[in-house]
Structure 1
């Protein structure tokens, strides 16, 4: 048997790219993955094979030398800036990938869609359309480990996959100590509730016994945990009756589902891949994950006898919950707008987005008749607004022990607690059953800062003011000045030297390109050109989504966010000129390292935080943070990529269910409405995963992951320091209004200084 050795594969990109880190990686990858039988055949003898082996070794040495040079330069750069990172991590990543590539012999494009141009044949497009998953390709990045990876994701309500020619590292270790394994975590999206705003949920009359049976089935379920009586009543009304004969299939494994079932009469059995699991009796509920998003059923349900079931579909569930949440929020705002502080309405003191924040922090509280709400002489720490009922006010040694005044619905008391922690000057007692909206001073200050400052501040917006974390010289950014990039919106292929294909996906492909009209001083800079087919976008009804992603990407200019310089187009497609990132995906590095030291985790988290601060100033919620969406540049700094789920939330909240299960915040799971606070929840999960090697709520079953996230219980490993443990707990607060990072501050509408200090100093300010 003749030994097979690597042989160089000539490519069109071999000329003029030796100075490019991206091309250095690409050339090495091509050499490592091309295999042949030798130049001399049977009679060529040992000499040909020896020469070929020598050439391969020279190529590998040259590649290693280029990578080592890049690593040394990056390491020196980080040392100059005082970064707490050990750059030998990239050396480990390089050596691990090199050995993997040499032994596997797989093409770097393995597992990716067949490469196509915008003018590809209809047969190629038909083969992709025939897939059950609608996938979308975003940025492809060449990394320092000689691989190219492409993000292939379904953002329109199905599943998504991160596909890579190399090891995709999403550390999915069990806490029992099993080795880390690679997995493709799927981003999910349930679609915006606004699409069904005119929808009227069904209202099916039911007997008291039927309502009691449904209530008993849904109340313990995690998805209905925070529902009040009114919400539960409307949800029960929306259940519709169906029947199944003995032997029929209620749910088939692998089918897409959108309903949650409650068994009323009869019995059903559960099968996984034809294997019997369990039999369920009346009162059992199943299929609840379909209420969140469309996904294949994981088991089959078979009727063992004639059955009657109640079923509620996803649309009814999400519309009912979102309408109740919005109604509750609007009710809070109406009460808050009537509040006066020193003869000035609270709505005049606070900006609209700040009023929304206060409404989120305020909670309804019930008081029984004759219950003391506040007591004279005690420290004041909360402010009360009466929504329902009467409250009697007593002042010691006045009015002979009789109430000096009775407060009714719409009035408020204890407002001085928002200004200071002075003692109460009166006692307030519930005359009957009272419902109040309560706002704690601590929550208010945490959210907005001192009220006294807010009353006297200058409302003038500081648009365009520079920020410290955006100054390139402070963080070693080496991107080109925007003035040297092409501004034209019309794509002219003659202006671009296309070097090689980096990756392909459902809507197009990514090319490594060079702008041949660049100034002489920037002639050695290369870009990633993402080409998207207009025909395929229109076919999948993704025009609005692509436009939203385009607008967000172009608007974000920050050293820790992957840059989109401009967007061009011609009759066939759109062309996104992107920053070429050459350091590899963070998830791959995490896979090879198993877990990071706390210093590494904090370094990467600080970069993400800086990027988030810039996004949130522009009111952009990212909503899809995970290691797979973080890429390193050639200097080792992290860059945020893939804005397929990002959204501008300029006022109020949004109710779209989207994200990656391991990273979903409680308010997203429960359809309570969310804003950019979900990003800080994601940051807490990211820090935990980087430091431990597994996400804090990881489970093979998504519903179990959601249950863990909603519980608020976080398992802290023994090797976590107190500083990191406390930081994670504050970021993973189940109440978004109290979550670290969500808080607003005196000088910025989105204050992140407390979080920055915790990352840098390891202490709470």
Structure 2
């Protein structure tokens, strides 16, 4: 550590050297009544090592040595990786790099303790070892450079390597070296297998050597790719199946039947009436046709050739019509097929599904339109609003309190800068957020409805009928410390909001305090849906969210779903009461993303809690932070209601909580802070500052990515 540490010693006259038992009990009782400080706790790390906060108390003031992450650090540790469509669509074919048994053993030994490899099964491990590439390096060669985006993980086979970190204008400083001198094979670059972030250091070869390299794309394919997922992607590419959810496509893939044809066999013949849809799994097929299907003398003209992953005969699932062409096996051909009758037995008539989907989307659009017209928001632009204040600035834009000049109603406008969205690479996430907002039509006390969207030359705006005052993180900071009853109230806000979204099939994945907003009544509002995903029965596999909030299954990268929100709720409750996450030590070096992920994956479900935590709270946190998602409260057998019925929430009337501000008030001290901040937003100074909200420089880049942003449809363009 290079920072200065000041120690304050308080000498108190008249206190005996050894406290008697009675006074010790009195101190314990006094401390037991004291509120849990957000900046003061004693608790264990993921491996149950008792870390604790060393606090010097002088004049009754708590002065902690360790603090939680700063807002800047939390933003830096927020992952927003998107699995690209191109990566999804490319069929992965592993390329085996020959290795001796000794080389394979050294690689296995090097990665066996690494959290990213511990959950791999034997087959996956073998495939990972197979595809790792041999990289020969020369002395002086830079392997990775600080600041560059990385997608390779390395195991040192031989040679010596220097790890350098740039120190501003002082040049590079060596912080450590990698070598095999100690009989081990070190590795580096693990985060590159999870997501793309700038490299934290430069690694330069000090001698000639050899590395084994694993790229992120191959690692992800080995983790996630299977014949099932590839088949679902093929089904999704079929035009008439695009209205099916992922869950429906998975059920469809389960009932497809395998059939094999010899070379020259006809799969379907022109003019015949059959009702079967086919997907080619192996081999090739030739498509031919005659101008006159009834003329046997006319030669068949070749139209096209089909290969593995392609399909034919899809119209038979909707209509009865003669086949328009022949499909003939060109060599041995293996297909999966399903008849119209079998399809309808599993999912019902396809045309009915298509019609129902269209009707649902039209209903959502009509409902949104009626609400928008009732609010006087049809076809609004920035000129229709008078900005009053900017309560929250985000990494990609701002929340603006604005009054509609015609109706005089006040709204919160969620503005996203087009330039910043592109700079952050969040175009697809923003459009996904818009689609999710559009799909929600039922009001909820803690999930405000998006009433509409509009754009100007610089920004994309979403309109909400709610007045946001601050972030939850700002409220917690202003309160300095909160008791369990206050944490209980805000945890219930979030719990009910998350369960509302889960009922809509939406996994939120964004429960960090910086991304939860507080309205003027002191209630939490969930309005940042950039990381949310509609699951439709399938698991998500992208990395997103604040590192300290990721559940073990998210870190492992093998797929996750609704249970991750209950895990994040547990972390949120812990952080509200202690000001930090269970995985943080307070040492910036030890609290790297890599170390945090290692502690999360090593967590076995045991924590040493601050002594101020009630027994009910400790029990709930252990239930929420169950490492196995199938055993996590909220998603196991008893379902979501089990969380609401937990003893820790017994002091709350959940019916009143569901009603929100119409039936109850926020905790007194929290509401006072919110009202104080709200007053600062209702001043001429705030209005003057807000006047700049609509004056951002115009965006001049590609505009195709936000096509359809102002429409009512719930499907992204």
Q: TM-score, normalised by structure 2?
A: 0.56
1:591 deviation in Å? 2.3
Q: 1:214 to 1:328 in 2, by over 3 A?
A: farther
Whether contact under 8 Å (2:80, 2:545) holds in the other structure is: yes
User: How far apart are the structure 2 equivalents of 1:298 and 1:352?
Assistant: 40
Q: Tell me the residue number matched to 2:622.
A: 729
Whether contact under 8 Å (1:325, 1:673) holds in the other structure is: no
Secondary structure, counterpart of 1:584 in structure 2: strand
User: How far apart are the structure 2 equivalents of 1:537 and 1:296?
Assistant: 18
Q: Map of 1:535-614 to 2, 5 A cutoff?
A: 543-556=427-440, 557-569=443-455, 574-614=460-500
Whether contact under 8 Å (2:412, 2:468) holds in the other structure is: no
1:183 aligned to 2:85? no
Q: Tell me the residue number matched to 1:308.
A: 210
User: How far apart are the structure 1 equivalents of 2:619 and 2:227?
Assistant: 30
1:242 deviation in Å? 1.1
Q: Tell me the residue number matched to 1:269.
A: 162
Q: Residue by residue, what CA displacement relative to the aligned partner does 1:674-725 show, whole Å, maximum 9, x if unpaired?
A: 1111111100111111122211112521111111111224332222111111
Whether contact under 8 Å (1:584, 1:631) holds in the other structure is: yes
1:583 deviation in Å? 3.7
**RMSD of aligned residue pairs (Cα, Å):** 3.6
Q: Tell me the residue number matched to 2:219.
A: 317
1:481 deviation in Å? 8.3
1:188 deviation in Å? 0.6
Q: Tell me the residue number matched to 1:631.
A: 517
Secondary structure, counterpart of 1:231 in structure 2: helix
- Among 697, 702, 707, the alignment partner of 2:598 is 707
User: How far apart are the structure 1 equivalents of 2:121 and 2:574?
Assistant: 33
User: How far apart are the structure 1 equivalents of 2:582 and 2:227?
Assistant: 28
1:200 aligned to 2:93? yes
Higher relative contact order (CA 8 A, sep 6+): 2
Q: 1:310 to 1:680 in 2, by over 3 A?
A: same
Secondary structure, counterpart of 2:225 in structure 1: helix
Q: Tell me the residue number matched to 1:648.
A: 534
User: How far apart are the structure 1 equivalents of 2:624 and 2:424?
Assistant: 37
Q: Tell me the residue number matched to 2:8.
A: none
Q: Tell me the residue number matched to 2:201.
A: 299
Q: Tell me the residue number matched to 1:445.
A: none
- Among 235, 249, 269, the alignment partner of 2:128 is 235
- Gapped regions of structure 1 (runs ≥ 5): 1-88, 94-172, 331-350, 360-479, 746-750
Q: Tell me the residue number matched to 1:281.
A: 179
Q: Which has the larger displacement, 547-556 or 603-612? A: 547-556
1:486 aligned to 2:376? yes
Whether contact under 8 Å (2:410, 2:467) holds in the other structure is: no
Secondary structure, counterpart of 2:494 in structure 1: helix
Q: Tell me the residue number matched to 1:400.
A: none
User: How far apart are the structure 2 equivalents of 1:325 and 1:680?
Assistant: 31
Q: Tell me the residue number matched to 2:27.
A: none
Whether contact under 8 Å (2:392, 2:470) holds in the other structure is: no
User: How far apart are the structure 2 equivalents of 1:194 and 1:678?
Assistant: 24
User: How far apart are the structure 1 equivalents of 2:113 and 2:519?
Assistant: 47
- Among 405, 429, 434, the alignment partner of 1:516 is 405
Whether contact under 8 Å (1:193, 1:655) holds in the other structure is: no
Q: Residue by residue, what CA displacement relative to the aligned partner does 1:145-202 show, whole Å, maximum 9, x if unpaired?
A: xxxxxxxxxxxxxxxxxxxxxxxxxxxx973442535333132133227542323343
Q: 1:762 to 1:517 in 2, by over 3 A?
A: closer
Whether contact under 8 Å (1:620, 1:647) holds in the other structure is: yes
Q: Tell me the residue number matched to 1:71.
A: none
User: How far apart are the structure 2 equivalents of 1:247 and 1:635?
Assistant: 61
User: How far apart are the structure 2 equivalents of 1:294 and 1:637?
Assistant: 35
Q: Residue by residue, what CA displacement relative to the aligned partner does 1:393-412 show, whole Å, maximum 9, x if unpaired?
A: xxxxxxxxxxxxxxxxxxxx
1:625 deviation in Å? 0.9
1:540 deviation in Å? 7.6
Q: Tell me the residue number matched to 2:650.
A: 761
Q: Which has the larger displacement, 174-183 or 224-233? A: 174-183
Q: Tell me the residue number matched to 2:572.
A: 686
- Among 494, 503, 511, the alignment partner of 1:617 is 503
Q: 1:582 to 1:327 in 2, by over 3 A?
A: closer
Secondary structure, counterpart of 2:561 in structure 1: coil
Q: 1:280 to 1:531 in 2, by over 3 A?
A: closer
Secondary structure, counterpart of 2:649 in structure 1: helix
Whether contact under 8 Å (1:596, 1:693) holds in the other structure is: no
Q: Tell me the residue number matched to 1:221.
A: 114
Q: Residue by residue, what CA displacement relative to the aligned partner does 1:201-250 show, whole Å, maximum 9, x if unpaired?
A: 43212121211111111121111111111000111112111122112222
Whether contact under 8 Å (1:622, 1:643) holds in the other structure is: yes
User: How far apart are the structure 1 equivalents of 2:521 and 2:389?
Assistant: 23
Whether contact under 8 Å (2:150, 2:196) holds in the other structure is: yes
User: How far apart are the structure 2 equivalents of 1:328 and 1:537?
Assistant: 30
1:271 deviation in Å? 3.0
Whether contact under 8 Å (1:744, 1:752) holds in the other structure is: no
Q: Map of 1:135-534 to 2, 5 A cutoff?
A: 175-177=53-55, 178-180=65-67, 182-184=70-72, 185-186=74-75, 187-192=78-83, 195-197=86-88, 198=90, 199-273=92-166, 274-282=172-180, 283-323=185-225, 484-486=374-376, 488=378, 490-493=379-382, 495-499=384-388, 510-518=399-407, 523=408, 525-532=409-416
- Gapped regions of structure 2 (runs ≥ 5): 1-34, 39-50, 56-64, 167-171, 233-245, 255-369, 586-590, 653-717
1:299 deviation in Å? 2.6
Whether contact under 8 Å (2:393, 2:399) holds in the other structure is: yes
1:552 deviation in Å? 1.4
Secondary structure, counterpart of 2:53 in structure 1: coil
User: How far apart are the structure 2 equivalents of 1:539 and 1:627?
Assistant: 24
User: How far apart are the structure 2 equivalents of 1:756 and 1:495?
Assistant: 42
1:617 deviation in Å? 0.5
User: How far apart are the structure 2 equivalents of 1:687 and 1:570?
Assistant: 39
User: How far apart are the structure 2 equivalents of 1:680 and 1:579?
Assistant: 27
Secondary structure, counterpart of 1:261 in structure 2: strand
User: How far apart are the structure 2 equivalents of 1:620 and 1:196?
Assistant: 23
Whether contact under 8 Å (1:193, 1:322) holds in the other structure is: no
Q: TM-score, normalised by structure 1?
A: 0.53
Q: Residue by residue, what CA displacement relative to the aligned partner does 1:529-575 show, whole Å, maximum 9, x if unpaired?
A: 23446687678875543222112124443111244221134687643
Secondary structure, counterpart of 2:116 in structure 1: helix
Whether contact under 8 Å (1:193, 1:656) holds in the other structure is: no
Q: Residue by residue, what CA displacement relative to the aligned partner does 1:36-93 show, whole Å, maximum 9, x if unpaired?
A: xxxxxxxxxxxxxxxxxxxxxxxxxxxxxxxxxxxxxxxxxxxxxxxxxxxxx9xx99
Q: Which has the larger displacement, 575-584 or 731-740? A: 575-584
